[in-house]
Structure 1
């Protein structure tokens, strides 16, 4: 099987954790490293959470590189729906695994430079603010040649923002980084709120995941139950949107997603609309599209895919 070499840039985070646990049991993905960043929680906590999740998934073999401790220019903001630790009420064991001495930015520069020299390409999965990648691109723009594409969760277009009236959290947390990345001309697949709000993790789904996920079922159930927003007015049902896992689902099953090409701009000057993502759907800017924006998702297909992958924890237990 030909695998996809990836780097997972994240800020765990409940939905990041579900994404990581899914990636860990997907042999199609060759995870070169995980690069936690300041986002849903401060950096020290996102690094710790990443190490804990690696051990929960029994993937201590994957190196973890601590990233940027703050946004490029603005003061940090943190997530509102992940609890005090970033993992809801879930209590995981203290990690034995430690982060690598190399920083996330150094790792990205070295890994992508090496890929470019070998005429290889790495896919970057951005599940949080894009500070690490933006700083790496600023340090050495040539690393873009080592990137196959960026598959990122972030932004909002026809859907309102989830942190302000106009902005989605990941972009708002470091709008200058997002501007740098969207200006890089690297191919991008963007999974905005318009897509992620189509896949709601409902209470009945949580029960299904609990029944199939074997040794991780207790932790997974606690994480998923905490994620229930109980906001029927916004989401149409109980539950919470599966933001970050859709990045991994897209890599594994792109046929479950429909996209539209557009030029994406990021507002990084106006306080009123800070972090807003604007899509030029009809070529009004005169600039070429720089992203494929996911506009439609087969929600049932994604839930079935995640159930299949997370059930592999039970299969491994039986083996």
Structure 2
């Protein structure tokens, strides 16, 4: 039986952990344009799509473009827990953002390290009060949990863009990039016992751009809408060519849509195992979708979504930005 998420009713205290990246920037604009529902306490950055200095700059650019310099940006882990770093410049460009001019934002990073920020904030939080959205490798939260396992007390849930099951991988036949970049970190988070919601390639590849959807965003005729259209027009080329599809996914923005409108998504509680063994299945998310093993359920795996509803909501929120 498929379970559909319940409608959110109260403002979400949110930390966004991110490795911008084109789709991350769209996700950040989406989130920062939604202050009535999302209290974005901070952005924490990690190496992933590009190295840490560039992901940290791109997060600050997104903040600037959203007119939300009130939100601090903390730089975090510059490499995975154990494996050799990998990047995705072939998809996102050498700067992590192609299709738009990249420059040094006017406001700098917050003082202190992202991992310290996570530990201090979660230790001081009310029990199960803070949601963490992870849009890249899970290194920052994993390192924080390794140092201070007790911080789980402050976490309501962790909503992750990552993994693949039915869709297959996008960096190996079975692995999605964020999990392949640091599967050991993903294992630490999985084993922490926090509530996990995974938005994998299974669902993001069902939420595709189209000429009409991008035209509606362009018609907003704002700086933010122009940036998003220019970013996406360049970014989606790789997936359209690789998969032979007519549009492209906006992976990380699906996490923000889920937080805002969980009723637009459906999935089920599953047992999830992450393969961190060296070999052809390194980074694979093994999902017991049909409950063959009768093992304890440790994640909610999102499998489908209302694609038009997603783009309607994204367009509505981008209309709030200049």
Give the TM-score, by structure 1 length: 0.94
- The alignment status of 1:102 with 2:112, answered yes or no, reads yes
Instruction: Report 1:265-276 matches (<5 A).
Output: 265-276=273-284
Per the alignment, do residues 233 and 84 of structure 1 end up closer, same or farther by CA in structure 2, a change over 3 Å counting?
A: closer
- Aligned-pair CA distance for 1:183: 1.2
1:10 maps to which residue? 18
Pick 1 or 2: higher relative contact order, CA cutoff 8 A, min separation 6. Answer: 2
- Aligned-pair CA distance for 1:272: 1.1
Partner residue of 2:94 out of 68, 84, 91: 84
- Aligned-pair CA distance for 1:230: 6.2
- The alignment status of 1:55 with 2:64, answered yes or no, reads yes
Instruction: Report 1:207-226 matches (<5 A).
Output: 207-212=215-220, 214-226=222-234
Instruction: Measure the CA separation in 1 of the matches of 2:299 and 2:131.
Output: 14
Q: Is the 8 A contact 2:127 2:155 kept in 1?
A: no
Q: Is the 8 A contact 1:227 1:239 kept in 2?
A: no
- Aligned-pair CA distance for 1:213: 5.2
Q: Is the 8 A contact 1:263 1:279 kept in 2?
A: yes
| Unaligned segments of structure 1, at least 5 residues | none
2:80 maps to which residue? 71
Instruction: Measure the CA separation in 1 of the matches of 2:195 and 2:127.
Output: 16
Per the alignment, do residues 267 and 167 of structure 1 end up closer, same or farther by CA in structure 2, a change over 3 Å counting?
A: same
Instruction: Measure the CA separation in 2 of the matches of 1:233 and 1:52.
Output: 28
Instruction: Measure the CA separation in 1 of the matches of 2:149 and 2:178.
Output: 22
- Aligned-pair CA distance for 1:128: 0.3
Instruction: Report 1:194-205 matches (<5 A).
Output: 194-205=202-213
- Aligned-pair CA distance for 1:204: 2.7
Per the alignment, do residues 137 and 203 of structure 1 end up closer, same or farther by CA in structure 2, a change over 3 Å counting?
A: same
1:149 maps to which residue? 157
2:5 maps to which residue? none
Partner residue of 1:30 out of 28, 31, 39: 39
Instruction: Measure the CA separation in 1 of the matches of 2:221 and 2:134.
Output: 25
Per the alignment, do residues 66 and 278 of structure 1 end up closer, same or farther by CA in structure 2, a change over 3 Å counting?
A: same
Aligned length: 312
Partner residue of 1:134 out of 139, 142, 154: 142
- Aligned-pair CA distance for 1:284: 3.8
Instruction: Measure the CA separation in 1 of the matches of 2:128 and 2:193.
Output: 18
Local SS of the residue matching 2:197: strand
Q: Is the 8 A contact 1:67 1:103 kept in 2?
A: yes
Instruction: Measure the CA separation in 1 of the matches of 2:59 and 2:251.
Output: 17
- The alignment status of 1:121 with 2:129, answered yes or no, reads yes
Q: Comparing 11-20 with 209-218, which one deviates more in the overlay?
A: 209-218
Local SS of the residue matching 2:270: strand
Task: Give the CA RMSD over aligned residues.
Answer: 1.6
Instruction: Measure the CA separation in 2 of the matches of 1:165 and 1:197.
Output: 15
| Unaligned segments of structure 2, at least 5 residues | 1-8
- The alignment status of 1:163 with 2:171, answered yes or no, reads yes
Per the alignment, do residues 252 and 14 of structure 1 end up closer, same or farther by CA in structure 2, a change over 3 Å counting?
A: same
Give the TM-score, by structure 2 length: 0.93
Q: Is the 8 A contact 2:91 2:238 kept in 1?
A: no
Instruction: Measure the CA separation in 1 of the matches of 2:228 and 2:234.
Output: 10
Local SS of the residue matching 2:297: coil
Measured against aligned partners, the alpha-carbon deviations of 1:186-230 in whole angstroms (never above 9, x if no partner) come to 111100100000001123322211111523233222101112226
1:186 maps to which residue? 194
Instruction: Measure the CA separation in 1 of the matches of 2:10 and 2:293.
Output: 39
